[in-house]
Chains A and B, each alone.
Chain A
Amino acid sequence: MTTLTPVRSRDTSLVVGAILVALVVLAALVSFVWTPHDPVQVNASDRLLGFSGSHLFGTDKFGRDVFSQIMVGARTTLYVGVVAVGIAALIGTPLGVLAGLAPRWFGEFVMRVNDLVLAFPALLLAIMFGAVFGADTLTAMVAIGIATIPSFARLARSGTLQVASSEFVLAARAAGRSRTNIAARHVLPNISGLLIVQSSVSFAIAVLAEAALSFLGFGTRPPTPSWGRMLQESQDLLTSYPRLALVPGIAIALAVLGFNLLGDGLRDRLDPRLAART
């Protein structure tokens, strides 16, 4: 029955998600070569200007161009996601595959360690890391990356266990192939789809976490534009200049939405059985 979900709606997720993500990537890439104004140039005479041709999203309380900051902030957002997801995927995946192929006791052990890491939620870990190493984007992202390792390890392990019991892997084992060989040839290609989906979802979570941490003062340092910090800095102007908070707020929401939809859409493509779960 679930497979009857119209194909159209599944693709809508994928398409909308891909467009939103592409927008973020585009803004970030373009910002390397061009922004309408210098995003960190403070200008006392241009304080709190409204929407206009020269300042598309107006200016903030320091007279900085909000549109330029949003563009450069997209870089921070991607950086955040790439570092966090990169750490999680690069450590979690091999660990999970290993745990799936290795003897049972080892797999169990890895999963217990996993559960232990899970006991330190990302935000808590990031606050602790911030306290020890100083609040910074990278510190926060490493913490979030570490906290996300279990999701990948768990996924990779269950995927591996499934693949490992399939006939072609059993055949490969019988033929005396090494574990690494089996992992590289059979397991990784088979679970890569799931991992990509997980990456997309984790990316969204990392973006939200950076925003929350910037709000608490444990995130990106000034003056590096970050959507989370823009939101935090414009808080006390919410009544008089709501756009200053709304612009980065909407940017965050759209980016998160984009990565979530992309993940859902990809999952549906890869596994139609799960289509209804979106």
Chain B
Amino acid sequence: MRARLHLAALAVLLAVSGCSAGSTASVSSGPDTLSVGFTAEPANFDFTHSDGAAIPQALLYNVYEGLVKLDAQGKIVPLLAKSWTVSPDRKTYDFQLQPGVKFSNGAPFTAADVKFSLMRVKTDWTISIKSAMDVVDHVDVVSPDHARVVLSKPSNGWLFSLTSRLGAMFSPTGVGDLANKPIGTGPYEVASRRRGDSIVLKENPAYWGRKPAYSTVVLKYIADPTALDNALLSNGIDVISSLTSADSIPQFQGDNRFNVIQGTTNSEVTLAFNNRRAPLNDRRVRQALTYAIDRKAVLDLVFNGRGTLIGSMVPPTDPWYEDLSKVYPYDPARARQLLAQAGVKNLDLRLRIPNLPYAVSAAEVVQSQLADVGVRTTIEPLDFPAVWLKQVFTDDDYELSIIQHVEARDITTFGKPSYYWGYDSPRVQQLLAEADSGTPQQQVTDMKQVARQLNTDAAADWLFLFPNVIVAKKKVTGFARNQVSESFDLTGLRPA
């Protein structure tokens, strides 16, 4: 009887677990199916309200499309707009739309949807980058396949920002439940998701463009980098979208099943200084800390030397890139001297970082190097995103932090004194404004000036540019080497 009781209890357990485990559509694993591993899982599907790179990474260009997109070289190319023209005063953009485009719910895509989507950014979106659309004055529906956007002032940044999630096209019939049911014009639609595990994308049968090579793509979310590596090594997935740790690269390179593809990203791993707080409001102190850090060693230790030393907030894929990585050579003596000049002794700073592997690693190295010049630091890993965003990013409660700034052209954040850098330079603000409204040539010159000024002021210390390391089974090809957009673009992938 005792044994039976126990078995009965187990049977109940199993019955409960059996009846609740059936919410995923069946995934066939065949040559048409691709399984891609990521570390950060989207909280939901609504990037209009939820910040975080994971949502556009999964959905942009794959489920949602904009008028234009960034190609692998970082160039703006047509997508839902067949072509466009810009008026001489550079305030009016005329977009000729692709004909015969439908949303995945069947609704046709027309110029009215362009107006709806662009104006909706101003009224309904809440995420931090939405301000890039403030410059839109109004949108005219000239004809169903011709939309005219009028800006309040010329802006070089505006068209570029259309390549991001800000440019995603929505249908008024498809925004009822954005968090759970995304409706776009892209080659894929969301078929199912198992939270904590995966999202399944299925080919959109009514897609207007080229049919994708894989009819089913499983996006697998594995937060632990080691577990992600193991999933690929044990054939659980086909691709790792981006390695977050370099330690495992040798084991992939030594295995003839895999290709390791390395390129650049937009992601500056930045040691942020709270420019508002004493003693970091003193330029000499910030410069001292910059001299005290051996960025080459940081890169070697944190990412095995892969990645790029940059020296300012500009990745090499931007048109105004200059190598400023040698302006502050590693010079502990100079660091001590500058600290003495500034009159600070016994510095003890909090290094408040997100509790992510790369940040913890970098913090340990930075801490050790700063200790060499007599600067004590206390590492405080904070839960990311919630606590870090609240305490460091929103409330500016920090002295030092380390985080990846992943958004494209985020150098413009130095133009906002309220941003958590606390950096307030009228010259930089003016240069940024001129760059945005000037000619493209002037933009390049001005932006170079901005980058140099930031470097001179040691507004932050750009430790290194995160490399884009994709590891894929040899049977999968078509990856873009550089990660320049917000999207993990599945459309180019195909079997070898």
Contact = CB atoms under 8 A, between A and B. Distances in A.
Contacts of B226: 235-236, 238
Interface residues of A, number: 21
Nearest to B368: A42
A76 to B, nearest CB: 15
Interface in B242-257: 245, 247-248, 250-251
A240 B365 CA distance: 22
Contact of B301 (A41, A47, A134): A47
Which 7 A/B pairs are nearest by Cβ-Cβ distance?
A42-B368, A44-B297, A235-B226, A236-B226, A236-B247, A44-B300, A239-B251
A131 B301 contact: no
Given A44-B301, A236-B247, A239-B248, A222 B381 contact: yes
A228 B193 CA distance: 34
B248 A236 contact: yes
B225 interface: yes
A237 B294 contact: no
B94 interface: no
Given A134-B380, A236-B247, A40 B368 contact: yes
Interface string B119-135: 00000000000000000
28 contacts: A40-B364, A40-B367, A42-B364, A42-B368, A44-B294, A44-B300, A44-B301, A61-B301, A61-B361, A131-B383, A135-B381, A135-B383, A217-B381, A221-B380, A221-B381, A222-B363, A222-B364, A223-B368, A223-B379, A236-B225, A236-B247, A237-B247, A237-B248, A239-B251, A240-B247, A240-B248, A240-B250, A240-B251
A272 interface: no
A27 to B, nearest CB: 22
A62 interface: yes
B65 interface: no
Interface string A258-269: 000000000000
A240 B301 CA distance: 16
Contacts of B364: 40, 42, 62, 222-223
A217 B355 contact: yes
Most chain B beta carbons < 10 A, residue from A61, A131, A236, A237: A236
B275 interface: no
B198 to A, nearest CB: 22
Interface string A60-74: 011100000000000
B147 to A, nearest CB: 47
A135 B387 CA distance: 12
Interface in B186-213: none
Contacts of B369: 42
A194 B212 CA distance: 69
B371 to A, nearest CB: 8
Contacts of B361: 61-62
A222 B379 CA distance: 7
A237 B247 CA distance: 6
Contact of A63 (B250, B301, B367): B301
Question: Dominant SS at the B interface?
Answer: helix
Interface string B464-490: 000000000000000000000000000
Interface in B375-395: 379-383
A189 to B, nearest CB: 40
Interface of B: 224-226, 229, 245, 247-248, 250-251, 294, 296-297, 300-301, 355, 360-361, 363-365, 367-369, 379-383
Contact of B245 (A44, A62, A236, A240): A236
B368 to A, nearest CB: 4
A236 B360 CA distance: 14
B365 A42 contact: yes
A65 to B, nearest CB: 13
Given A217-B381, A221-B379, A135 B355 contact: yes
Given A222-B363, A222-B379, A240-B247, 4 more contacts: A40-B364, A44-B300, A236-B225, A236-B226
Interface in A232-252: 235-240
Interface string A36-49: 00001110100100
Nearest to B366: A42
A223 B363 CA distance: 9
Contacts of A235: 224, 226
Contact of B247 (A61, A131, A135, A217): A61
Contacts of A61: 247, 301, 361
Interface string A71-91: 000000000000000000000
Contacts of B363: 222
A41 B368 CA distance: 6
A63 B248 CA distance: 17
Contacts of B381: 135, 217, 221-222
Most chain B beta carbons < 10 A, residue from A134, A239, A240: A239
Contact of A236 (B229, B297, B355, B365): B229
